[in-house]
Amino acid sequence: MIRLSRPGASLVLALAGTLTLAACSEGPKSAKTEAHASDAGDYERGPHRGRMLRDGDFALEVTIFEDGVEPEFHVYAYRKDKPLAPKDVQLNITLSRLDGETNRFVFTPQEDYLRGQGVVTEPHSFDVAVTATQAGKSSAWRYPSYEGRTTMSAQAAQAGGVRTEIAGATPIAERVDMAGRVEITPEGKGEVRAWYPGRIMSLNGKLGQTVRKGQILARVESSESLQTYAIPAPISGVIVEKNLNVGDVAGERAILVIADPTKLHAEFFVYPRDAEKVRVGQPVEVRSLSGDTKLQAEVEAVLPMADLASQTLLAHVHLPGGADSAFRPGMGVEGSFQVGATNAPLAVRTKAIQRFRDFQVVFVKVKDTYEVRMLELGRQTPEWTEVLSGLKPGAEYVTDGAFLIRADIEKSGASHDH
């Protein structure tokens, strides 16, 4: 449907696709009406750029006006292409929508047009029935006016990966996002130290070398007994620090430091405003800064001491086995902490939401037909988004492959031209 401005900012009811216009009255259809009915994708426009409906010498021009107001019908009447007084015409319009909803509009005279009583809600996609009476003569027209609508066979939808769900009530998680970093857990670090002070006689470990627990890494000659003893690796892992060499005297300083890269946790900085919300056991989505990698984890500890400078607490989030393939110690990460949940009366999958014109939308499915629904949204999480208006509970909507439906609609031109 196309809407254009008239003087005084009127937006017109214009229709995309192949539309058929039928006029039924006591008189025959005009040749001009017949020509436009057979002209695919086109129709006659009036002085206000609206759709012209003709029945002999009598004609109506149907527009939608929405400059500073909710969309409403403005209809202009003509006799032999000369304006008729609005008070001389009785008019009704009925809109039949895809899901079976019917909207009826009565009209009252105002200035030089007939004004529809009620809002023409989005989407402006419906079958239109118009009835008018003027000078004792009745006229009627019917035509389709579709936008954001397409049809697709079940086989084509399945091949394109289109999946649907039923919209309804859903718990919406309350989340708090925080920044953090990946670190080796305390259990994942081990130090190779001299048991008794003395000179290092041999050293087998190198930076980056993978070692196993119990493997002999150094031999030290005790300064007191002059006996040489072996020092094994306390854990399996990778040597990440080498602080002394052969011939150095070992004392308090660690000779080598070993880290197990599979034992990881993420440390998040909890600001005072969120400190009361974060609890041990809460689920957390941990994401790389690029957003390409994410995993589900949970809070394992919240340290009670605050940093003096930032006044933040430290929350430790356990990273499950296998996380080391994507997360490395020292990497910055983001965490989305689920600190609560409330029930939303109506919600859709966040991944189902698409952009259409200036709206955020989903596409509903009725048999093999798909049609846009403009949404007013509330709370949102990576998985669910609350719907405040624009969608009916129980509607079947597209969750996967919505981009395919949108592309098919855009290709067919079944959309508004603003």
**Per-residue pLDDT reduced to its tens digit, 232-258:** 999 999 999 999 999 999 999 999 999
What is the pLDDT, as a whole number, of residue 413? 62
Per DSSP (E only), the strands in 97-167 are 102-110, 113-116, 126-134, 137-145, 149-151, 163-166
Paired with 397 in beta bridges are 165, 364
In whole angstroms, what is the distance from residue 9 CA to residue 6 CA? 5
Domain covering 22-147 in this structure, CATH number: 2.60.40.3340
Q: Which fold has domain 151-170+343-412?
A: 2.40.420
Helix (H, G, I), strand (E, B) or coil at 164: strand
Structure confidence at residue 418 as a pLDDT band (50, 70, 90)? very low
What is the pLDDT, as a whole number, of residue 315? 95
What is the pLDDT, as a whole number, of residue 29? 33
Q: Which fold has domain 187-259?
A: OB fold (Dihydrolipoamide Acetyltransferase, E2P) (2.40.50)
Q: Which fold has domain 175-184+262-341?
A: Elongation Factor Tu (Ef-tu); domain 3 (2.40.30)
Name residues whose C-beta falls within 8 Å of residue 244's C-beta, 6 or more positions apart in sequence. 200, 203, 250, 253, 255
Residues spanned by CATH 2.60.40.3340 within the chain? 22-147
Residues spanned by CATH 2.40.420.20 within the chain? 151-170+343-412
Q: Provide the whole-model pTM.
A: 0.65
Paired with 348 in beta bridges are 385
In whole angstroms, what is the distance from residue 60 CA to residue 75 CA? 7
Residues spanned by CATH 2.40.50.100 within the chain? 187-259
Sheet with strand 256-259: strands edge to edge: 189-192, 256-259, 237-242, 210-211
Instruction: Give the tokens for residue 338.
Output: 């689920």
State yes or no: pLDDT of 12 exceeds 70. Answer: no
